Structure 1
Amino acid sequence: MSIPFRRRALSLASLLLTLVLTACGGGDGDGDAPPPVPRGPGALLSGHYVNTFTAADIAQAMKDPESRIEGGVTPRYAVSSYRLTYTTTGQDGAAVTASGLVSVPKKAEGAASPVISYQHATTFHDNQAPANKVEAVEPPLVLASLGYIVVSPDYVGFGASKGVEHPYLTSAPTARSVLDMLAAAETWRRQNGVADNRQLFLAGYSEGGYATMAAHRAIERQNGALKAQLQAAVPGAGPYDVLKTLDEQLGRVRALLPPLGYVLDPERLASAPENVRNEVRRLLLRQMVPENGDVRYQPLFLDRYIANQREPIAADHSVHLGWAPSVPVYLFHGRGDLTVPYQASESARDAMRAAGANGVTLTDCTTPKFGHLDCVPEYFRFAIDRMGRLARDL
């Protein structure tokens, strides 16, 4: 994800050119399948204590170069974290045992806290999932140290469900993994006497931004208890409009190497020989998923894009269409982002406003370079500020 775009584009183009010329001549899981699931979606299966960090521990960790939250953020509470397993469903509708993390600020007995559902960014390594990397430097613990109960799903394909394909940028199973984790976490809080104040916030960056919007749309459509609790969502730099994201990325390759524009047109790829389509898929997938990853990704959206199936992409993968949020949505993105195009956020803002939403805003990253990873620390400061304006009992 951090490879410079020009280098990735040139590498892709070189391989595609070779292909065209040739064609012209002729969590801690161990990778095993998860155990059978005994109960329905959202059921809490287990909860185990992981560790506790003091506020001083977290403040010291934030000085580390790996910290994604920095500047103007002061931890106030010690944080205890717990690994939950719960039931959800995968892309094919089959039951899956999933996992996630709940991080709780150590307040006075009986004191209530608002809840953040934090959706993590794209990672290709299981040991980076929230319930597997419970370190003081990680966003769930830093956010909890500010006074929030933080609920962080690992997503299907990570943690307890490692070995199951991760439904990458597929909206329904992504939303379900978040909402089912919220249900399981609520059960866990009741069982363990952890009080929340019935305020819910959603936040996440990159794929986490996408998952945040997918979950938000599902909450609005269900029109249940979670909608009554929801205060705001802060999605950062997500590929909400999957078609726009892919079109913009493909357009950049065409601009760099115009001779290959003909080959890379999805309308032509759809009717190209199968070996050509398969090689293009392999090359495009390799730009997104590194060879050394240990999580299985299912890029259905990419298969559909290569087949020029635009309507199914809009229906099953994009998350900005067909709804109007009833609470503020604070979008955040950098104009220089070469990983997820800025236009994806513009499209989401415009579509939700056109649907009748009045509280959708888009704030630009001001960090020099404005790139995808460059803007991460500023995003977290922005999210903490926007949620903090509405949160009570911090």
Structure 2
Amino acid sequence: MSTYLPLPQPSWKSARHLSVVLATSFALVLTACGGGDDDEGSGGGQPGSGAPGALVSAERVNEIPAADITAALSDPESKVQGGVTPLYAVTSYRLTYRTTDKDGVPTTASGLVSVPVKAAGARSPVVSYQHATTFHENQAPSNKVEAVEPPLVLASLGYIVVSPDYVGFGAAKGQIHPYLTSAPTANAVVDMLTASDSWRGQAGVADNGQLYLAGYSEGGYATMAAHRAIHLANGGLKQRLQSAVPGAGPYDVLETLDEQLDRVGDLFPPLGAILDPGNLSKLPDSVRREVRDLLLKQMVPEDGDVAYESLFLDRYMADERELVARDHSVHLGWAPSVPVYLFHGRLDLTVPYSVSESAQRALRDAGATDVSLTDCTTPKLGHLDCVPEYFRFAVERLGRTAKDL
């Protein structure tokens, strides 16, 4: 997509037409980019009461027996659908903590900590599990504490599971969710980990010093964003981190959007040149905003109650590629020092497989020595089709080095 053609001044009608065409591409990226609906090893001193990562409150939510989690795995709606054997009952707690919003302004967010019920004093590895895209606030981890949910299934296997709600959900309900913006996404994860360290120290919940990161789609993106932030900070969390398992995330945002627009161009050849960001950038700002607003209407369900930031779209349509790469992509500028196990389906029409190839190549080129890419083998190989296989893959990869399960 590199040929720029002179364009006539578009009307509002043509802007609406463009938004419908673009929506066939971008809506896939957003709406299906997910699954739908300290003791030893702490990273250092506790942050001050208003600082990022400060623990604000904690409350017990429930306890679910292992038998209930086992039964939930047979549910057709389960994101796991068998392949694992729950060993422990799970007690979950809702934490609120301090982090920053899309503009870097301090705010209060929330998340879930799910703890396996083990013998007194037993230690467990920690997994930070990042959830996939949802447009409904009641689907956030600390609001949907059910046996079928991945954080509880992981906890039933012996892990302490930390699951941030993200800004825009839970305690930060009503705020704009900083979708595909790397810094606030990473902050929500890292600050939740810091707050959970403080809580475990107060509650006497012992970890064994091992930390893992995992998540699929937007959760895969958040996993890599947090991993990069942890790596570059070079602090206590980095010393504990054992590996990361990001699945089918839009790590390279430019590649994700370029591929989606190329597909639209293949379906509608006369519009191929118009859809080039170099041409879209020549439209007046007011028309691009109209396209953006109508596009988001196409993406977000009418009953959705979470507002998604569109900065990555605005910059992409304005052909501000350097800003998209700098502030939105998460695969550039670092070389992870622990294994990264990428997972993706080759026929994924939501987040193209080439995005994981791009991430693997960039990380290796930067000097990383252990970045693998495993293909989904589920027959359909689509984005949501591969979710159960991803979960089993993640469990296997985490279990290679996890102790005290």
Taking structure 2 as the reference length, what is the TM-score of the superposition?
Answer: 0.88
Q: 2:87 aligns with which of 76, 86, 97?
A: 76
- Does residue 54 of structure 1 match 2:55? no
Residue 171 (structure 2) aligns with: 160
- Does residue 380 of structure 1 match 2:381? no
- Does residue 272 of structure 1 match 2:283? yes
How far apart, CA to CA, are the structure 1 residues paired with 2:55 and 2:19? 52
Aligned residue for 1:109, secondary structure, equals coil
Percent of pairs with identical residues: 72
Residue 174 (structure 1) aligns with: 185
Residue 226 (structure 2) aligns with: 215
Give the conservation status (yes or no) of the 8 Å contact 1:113–1:149: yes
In structure 1, give the amino acid aligned to 2:144: K
Q: 2:239 aligns with which of 228, 252, 265?
A: 228
In structure 1, give the amino acid aligned to 2:17: L
In structure 1, give the amino acid aligned to 2:218: E
In structure 1, give the amino acid aligned to 2:130: Q
How far apart, CA to CA, are the structure 2 residues paired with 1:392 and 1:49? 26
In structure 2, give the amino acid aligned to 1:380: F
Give 1:271 deviation, angstroms. 1.0
How far apart, CA to CA, are the structure 2 residues paired with 1:48 and 1:260? 54
Give 1:66 deviation, angstroms. 1.2
Give 1:276 deviation, angstroms. 3.1
Give 1:279 deviation, angstroms. 3.1
Pick 1 or 2: higher relative contact order, CA cutoff 8 A, min separation 6. Answer: 2
How far apart, CA to CA, are the structure 1 residues paired with 2:20 and 2:64? 53
The unaligned stretches of length 5 or more in structure 2 are 1-13, 22-47
Post-superposition Cα deviations, 1:191-212, rounded to whole Å, max 9, x if no partner, equal: 0000000000000000000000
Residue 129 (structure 1) aligns with: 140
In structure 2, give the amino acid aligned to 1:256: L
Residue 105 (structure 1) aligns with: 116
How far apart, CA to CA, are the structure 2 residues paired with 1:382 and 1:173? 28
- Does residue 326 of structure 1 match 2:337? yes
Give 1:286 deviation, angstroms. 3.5
Give the conservation status (yes or no) of the 8 Å contact 1:121–1:207: yes
- Does residue 118 of structure 1 match 2:129? yes
Q: Structure 1 residues 73 and 18, CA, compared in 2 at 3 Å: closer, same or farther?
A: closer
Residue 85 (structure 1) aligns with: 96
Give the conservation status (yes or no) of the 8 Å contact 1:206–1:237: yes
Give the conservation status (yes or no) of the 8 Å contact 2:126–2:207: yes
The unaligned stretches of length 5 or more in structure 1 are 1-12, 21-36
In structure 2, give the amino acid aligned to 1:329: V
* 1:278-293 equivalent positions in 2, closer than 5 A: 278-293=289-304
- Does residue 295 of structure 1 match 2:306? yes
* 1:163-202 equivalent positions in 2, closer than 5 A: 163-202=174-213
Aligned length: 366
Give the conservation status (yes or no) of the 8 Å contact 1:70–1:381: no
How far apart, CA to CA, are the structure 1 residues paired with 2:293 and 2:106? 29
How far apart, CA to CA, are the structure 1 residues paired with 2:301 and 2:323? 26
Aligned residue for 2:167, secondary structure, equals coil
Q: 2:366 aligns with which of 333, 351, 355?
A: 355
Residue 16 (structure 1) aligns with: 17
Aligned residue for 1:98, secondary structure, equals strand
In structure 1, give the amino acid aligned to 2:124: S
- Does residue 314 of structure 1 match 2:325? yes
Aligned residue for 1:169, secondary structure, equals coil
Give 1:94 deviation, angstroms. 0.9
Residue 257 (structure 1) aligns with: 268
